[in-house]
Amino acid sequence: MVELLEVSKESIERIIHSYECSQRYALAIMQDMQRTYQYVPREGLEALAEYLGCPVSALYAMATFYKALSLVPKGEHTIKCCDGTACHIRGASTLIDGIERELGIRPGETTKDGLFSFETVNCLGSCALAPVLVVDDVYYGKVTLEKLREIIEDVRKGGAA
């Protein structure tokens, strides 16, 4: 079970006040919150809005626009499965089904133990390697269901395939 760092007013304030009070730093501050907590907590958005003197809705719009930010806790490891044209034609839907079966989650969800989050993406720019998965910024090409199981097992053991 992955332990999420408890959100505290003090830790949020530390992150926020490490930046100059300027709206141009809003995204960087939210990225720091994402790294610290594995998501951008509501308390963080509210404190940041107060610090910058802007509406929470403006920060919420930014947080929902950028795929790198999440308003719900993410897993320790993120699996991204490409479902772009080349990957789709070469079996991405089979991989998506396999990930759903192996992990018991659908795209956009996180496993109960907090170890994995799963996302589908439109393109990873590696069409020649289709179908492609990215796990924690490590690319895996020409992935089969057998290779998928090996990748997941290796990540569970603490390594990369």
Structure-token match 């958005």, residue found: 45
Task: Please check if 54 is assigned to a binding site.
Answer: no
Q: Is 127 assigned to a binding site?
A: yes
In 3D space, the residue among 76, 12, 87, 85 whose CA is nearest the CA of residue 50 turns out to be 12
- Phi and psi torsions of 142, nearest 5°: 50, 50
Residues of the binding site for [2Fe-2S] cluster: 82, 87, 123, 127
Residues of the binding site: 82, 87, 123, 127
